[in-house]
Amino acid sequence: MTAAPRSDAWEKVTGRACYAVDAALPNMAHAAVVRSERAHARIVGIDRAEAEAAPGVIAVVTAEDLGDLGRRFGHIVPDHAILAEGKVRYFGEPVTVVVAETPHQAADAAELVWVDYDDLPALTDAATALASDVLIHEQSYVEPGQKFLDVAPAASTDNVAHRNELAWGDAEAALAAAATVVETTTTFPLVYGYAMETYNALADWQPGSLHVVSTAQHPLMVRRELARMFSLPLAAVRVEVPYIGGGYGSKSYTKLEPLAAAASWVAGRPVKVTTDVEAAMYTTRADGALVTVRTGFDSGGRIVARDIDIRFDTGAYADNSPLVLTKSINRSFGPYRMPNLRVRGVAAYTNTSPASSYRGFGAPQAALAGELNMDMAAEELGIDPVELRRRNLLAPGDTLIEGKRPLDADLVADLDAVAAALEQHAAEPTPGTLRGRAVAVTASDAGASPISTAQVRMHADGSVTLLVSSTEMGQGSRTALAQIAARELCVPIEAVAVGQSDTRFTPFEWTTGASRTTTVVGLAVQAACADLWDNLRDRAAESAGVPVDEVRVSDGLIHVPLAARGESGSGADTVSGLTPAEVIRQWFGADAGEVVGVGVVRRDGATAVLPPFWEIGAVGVEVSVDEATGEVTVEHLVTVGDVGYAVNPDLVKGQDLGAATQGLGIALWEEMVYDGEQLTNPNLVEYRVPRLRDAPRRVTSVLAERGDGAGPYGATGAGEGALNPVPAAVAAAVGRAVGIWPTELPLTPPRVWSLLQQAQQFLGGG
């Protein structure tokens, strides 16, 4: 059949970003969470009598009230307490939840709960925690045979949440023999994936069943955890996700859902739990990182070896950090030919808010050190930094990691596009400012596990309902998947309605993350559409009384031999086209009915080898630095969206700009600051995210469409690639401007001003 052309149309109704789950159930109660005011302490006692007597209070719930329920969650390591049991491990940890008739009554009663603590030493950074004999977790929660994707956690007797390594060749010997060795150590800050909608969940426990509405990126994984916690079959747990106001990875896996479900179980009522920004920042953040890279080069500027050490500050609970660490290791050495490699990584428990998934998934932390190291090496070797990368970048079809999918991108072409755009708009510095330019390139083993299911239902009027469980959170998956279905079924996009993320009604989906939806879910949609056409052919053949192999599909029509249909014509070779709607009505014998197609993607065939695709990051920045204040202005941002095929070019450009802006936030403003055991800036006044006035003065967005991806029409994923290299590119550009390489983000005006003073002292000293 002939596919409809690509449409740039956006969906007619996009939904709205909300600040709390826009749902209510009859007799619904509201919860307020009492959070720890200690970072590390034994719980001596909880006095809740006054709160229980407060107006409107239904229940005051502590860990002791959870009975036989599973009291911990965590899809890799089930170490995360629903409510602190025995001791608290970070400032802001939920200790008690108060359930009342109204939000105000719950909040007022929560003020009446008193908790008595016996303080323990607070270990608020990775170095202190790894060196201490004080254990944040006295027991191991690892179960025999436990494994998630490539991560198999091991029991630990120290403050290590996870450790892993990757190596080939002999890195130490190659470094010893190298003509030049360059070492770089960088500090990546603790950052919060700020979304306009904070975490919230509504749970309704009924004997034998549980219904949850939440802001979950992965409803099927949340369902699995809740089923385990309540000892229920999967079919008895319904997790529903409406259109949510942003995720950025921070809403991956399980967050508030166990708390809401446990409160409903105790209270006997539907219970809604919401968070403000402060509570959300205590719920999840990105892993902070200290990364050291040593790279050896031969006399021609080609890499002979890399040795990398990664240390994550993972916070009080492991959450998804073991997998983030594993991915960071895979992404730490860059998309370069690497004859010899050694990478060691450790994720440390600390008495700070738990870390988890964050857009980029370990790549930004590692790329900061790795790409800055390339710029430092270029300076030492006397080679242009773009040329140094050209000499070392892998070619299409090369192998990054043995046993994984070969590279499906042209990195040199992407880098050349970035360099050309920067050069085209280069400008001289204005008086009182310094200018610097830099590029950075990354490749990430994206796509997670290629497991996806989609269902398409064509109705008697020819319109289509597409059912998937990928979550729409503003990234535009509803639009892109509708476009794929419309193209495959030769119907206008207005005829496609998309239903998403309700585990009772929508089919299985592994995850919404890893930039996988258009690629992996898109393949499932294509397969479902192909199955639908096959089923339509079957119905048409049955109605006409002919073998199905005599029925063919082209141009969106089903062609059946005229002779078989009893119509006049020149013979069986003469065919006439029926619309799918006509086939459906003919088969059902009425203006009614529908035909269904199901598509499944799994680790087989084209998706048998992981990763499903490599996500490319290729960016360039030009910055100006105010010599008097240290303030950094981004004069020009260049992104290359190497997506194979852009199903919706506007969405891809929007994703790239959004991701790159998030990277600028990490590079220049964002940092969760701890003063001892307490977070000092849990709000959007002191925790500084990029604002409209911070937007780059010029943005160049390039789409690279070479059809070399594994997804529909040769597509690969987008959404994280443009973030991953941005912090490194900004750091290198600022370093080139001021004359001192920065090693710690964010590059706030005081930090940059300090670099300027160091540069002046260096020059003054000859």
**Average pLDDT of the chain?**
92
pTM: 0.93
Q: Is the pLDDT of residue 714 over 80?
A: yes
> Is the domain 29-122+193-283 a CATH 1.10.3210.10 member?
no
The torsion of the CA quartet 220, 66, 146, 359, rounded to 10 degrees, works out to 50
Res. 12: pLDDT tops 50: no
Instruction: Give the pLDDT of residue 147.
Output: 63
Q: Which amino acid is at 71?
A: R
Q: What is the pLDDT of residue 76?
A: 85
Reported as a pLDDT band with limits 50, 70 and 90, residue 698 is very high
- The predicted-structure confidence for 200-230, as pLDDT tens digits, reads as follows 999 999 999 999 999 999 999 999 999 999 9
Using 50, 70 and 90 to split pLDDT, how confident is the model at 142? confident
Query: What is the DSSP pairing of strand 87-88 with strand 41-47?
Result: antiparallel
Taking residues 28-34, what's their average pLDDT?
Answer: 97
Which residues, including other chains, have CB under 8 Å from residue 49's CB and lie 6 or more apart? none
SS3 per residue for 233-288: CHHHEEEECCCCCCCCCCCCCCCCHHHHHHHHHHHCCCEEEECCHHHHHHHCECCE
- d(CA 612, CA 177) in angstroms, rounded, equals 37
HEC profile of 718-733: CCCCCCCCHHHHHHHH
In this predicted structure, the answer to whether residue 32 has a pLDDT above a threshold of 50 is yes
Cβ neighbours of 210 (radius 10 Å): 22
Angle at CA of residue 683, ends 674 and 216, nearest 5°? 100
| Numbered ranges of CATH 3.90.1170.50 in the chain | 29-122+193-283
CB 702 within 8 A of CB 416: no
Q: Which fold would CATH assign to domain 452-607?
A: Aldehyde Oxidoreductase; domain 4 (3.30.365)
- Distance, in Å, from the CA atom of 711 to the CA atom of 517, rounded to the nearest integer, reads 10
Among 650, 618, 649, 624, smallest CA distance to 636 is for 624
What whole-number distance in Å separates Cα of residue 388 and Cα of residue 395?
Answer: 15
What's the rounded mean pLDDT across residues 527-545?
97
**361-382 exposure pattern, b = at least 16 Cβ within 10 A, e = fewer:** bbbbbbbbbbbbbbbbbbeebe
- Per-residue pLDDT tens over the stretch 355-405: 999 999 999 999 999 999 999 999 999 999 999 999 999 999 999 999 999
| Secondary structure letter of residue 452 according to DSSP | E
Minimum mean pLDDT range among 165-174, 568-577, 623-632: 568-577
pLDDT reported for residue 155: 63
pLDDT tops 70 at residue 552:
yes
Asked if pLDDT for residue 601 goes beyond 80, the answer is: yes
Positive or negative torsion for Cα 332, 335, 336, 337: positive
pLDDT computed for residue 765 by the predictor: 61
Does the pLDDT at position 197 exceed 50? yes
Query: Which pLDDT belongs to residue 77?
Result: 86
Contacts for 727 with CB less than 8 Å, ≥ 6 apart: 188, 364, 367, 368, 663, 666, 667, 745
Asked if the model's pLDDT at residue 243 lies above 60, the reply is yes
Query: What integer pLDDT is reported at residue 18 of this predicted model?
Result: 33
Start-end ranges of CATH 3.30.365.10 in the chain? Answer: 452-607
In sequence order, what E strands does 74-159 have?
80-81, 87-88, 94-100, 114-119
The C-alpha angle with vertex 62 and arms to 56 and 67, in degrees rounded to 5, equals: 110
pLDDT at position 4: 40
Asked if residues 433 and 634 have their Cβ atoms less than 8 Å apart, the reply is no
Q: What pLDDT score does 2 carry?
A: 36
Q: Is the pLDDT confidence value at 474 over 70?
A: yes
